[in-house]
Amino acid sequence: MKKKMKSSSEGFSLIELIVVLIITAILAQIGFVAFNKYLRRTRAFAAKTALLNIKKECESNSDLKSSEEFTALAPAGYSLYSGTLGDCNGNSGLILARPNNPNRLPEYSYNFAERGSIQCSRNSSDNFFKECLTLKDKLESNKFVVQDSYLERGCSAYAVVEGRTWDLAQSNAQKIGGNLVTVNNKEENNWLTSNVKWLKPPNPNFGAYGWNDGSSGYYPNGFKNDGGGKIISYWIGLKEKDEVKGLSNQYSASEEEQRKNVEWADGSPVEYMNQGRTDAGNGVNEDYFVLNNRGYFNDIEDPLNPTYSSDWQQVQYGIAEIDKCKA
């Protein structure tokens, strides 16, 4: 008896067709996503290149004492803006390449008046165009940086960083390209006090100045403690110099003499100290400084010191400062 062979011409079964269609759809989707990414990258590169060419044209014409104008050719997916289109000095010298869809493409800018570099910014929340992240986004992408604590003032950017000790807070500040804040004058001191994001510590006895039992009294800086309210404090870049650490009577001197015994983390000269009180004969190991939400400096112990036992002085955060003009 002859064995009947299955003919190859019988075709695919319904299940096989469905599997083929599913695989085809998946491959098509992968290909579409890859093409979409390629298209976004290509258009963004073209926009940046267009502004680079505009930069060269404007600056060359200016150097040659020629008409300060540029050739306005907008790349695909973008529009050019400069006040009067084609005028290097229009819109105060700011020339923009704006995407038609800002949720998919970054914006590029060039300031002819400042002869600056090409800058970019983005609105999209995906991982595309990381180079266009704002400094705020870059800083707050670190887990140890407090969200929505970013501030700007002149060339300085500030953010609140975690730090159970001064050294830990300083280490976190350095990880984001800065140091614990240097307070240069009264104006900066008042501005920080008014604008910094002051966080209540998880434990109401931590990170503040007040009496341990919450009773009424006076804060070390001379403010009345109304019913056990607390003063919140953050580490700043000021600390005692190594050669004077542990001396108990150094702050009985004048403020000018006090400044000789302390230093800022970034090496800046100490020209300002808003010290709310002196520590004459009090606090032998108080070597690190904080700024509190009443605007005063105070020196406290290193929490890792074996003699440290004051729960009400435990600080949880520090203020980091970054030179955003260099960053």
Query: What pLDDT score was predicted for residue 283?
Result: 46
Instruction: Write down the pLDDT at residue 254.
Output: 66
**What pLDDT is attached to residue 14?**
77
Q: What is the CATH architecture of 140-323?
A: Roll (3.10)
The C-alpha atoms of residue 129 and residue 134 are separated, in whole angstroms, by 11
Amino acid (1-letter code) at residue 8: S
Residue 202 clears pLDDT 70, i.e. is over it = no
Most confident listed range (38-42, 133-137, 176-180, 291-295): 176-180
Strand partners, 90: none
**pLDDT for 157:** 94
Residue bearing tokens 């404007």: 58
Residue 213 has pLDDT above 50, yes or no: no
Exposed / middle / buried, residue 66 (Cβ in 10 Å: 0-12, 13-18, 19+): exposed
Question: What span, in angstroms and rounded, lies between the C-alpha atoms of 256 and 277?
Answer: 14
Q: What is the pLDDT of residues 135-187, one digit of tens each?
A: 888 888 899 999 999 999 999 999 999 998 899 999 999 999 999 999 999 99
Q: What average pLDDT does the structure give for the chain?
A: 79
Taking alpha carbons only, the member of 70, 59, 71, 64 closest to residue 114 is 59
Q: Which has the minimum average pLDDT: 71-85, 98-112, 121-135, 212-226?
A: 212-226
Cβ atoms of 318 and 212 within 8 Å: the answer is no
Largest CA distance in the chain: 117
Q: Which residue has the tokens 């003919």?
A: 7
State the pLDDT at residue 231. 75
pLDDT at residue 169, rounded to an integer:
95
- CA 323 to chain centroid, in Å, comes to 11
288: enclosing H helix or E strand: strand 286-292
What whole-number distance in Å separates Cα of residue 275 and Cα of residue 210?
Answer: 17
Six-digit token string for 170:
């300083």
Q: Give the pLDDT score at 164.
A: 85
Maximum average pLDDT range among 35-44, 162-171, 203-212, 311-320: 162-171
φ, ψ for residue 42, nearest 5 deg: -65, -45
Lowest mean pLDDT among 43-47, 60-64, 139-143, 244-248: 244-248
pLDDT of residue 293: 84
- Residue ranges per structural domain of the chain: 28-127, 140-323
Please give the Cα distance from 259 to 153 (Å, whole number).
Answer: 25
User: 121 - beta bridge partners?
Assistant: 107
Residue of 88, 101, 83 whose CA lies nearest to 53: 88
| C-alpha span between 90 and 71 (Å, rounded) | 14
More confident residue, 208 or 19: 19
Q: Report the distance separating Cα 327 and Cα 322, nearest Å.
A: 7
Q: How many C-beta atoms surround the C-beta of residue 214 within 10 A?
A: 15
Percent of the chain whose pLDDT exceeds 90: 36
Distance of CA 19 to the CA centre of its chain: 49
Mention every residue, 6+ apart, whose C-beta is less than 8 A from residue 249: 280, 281
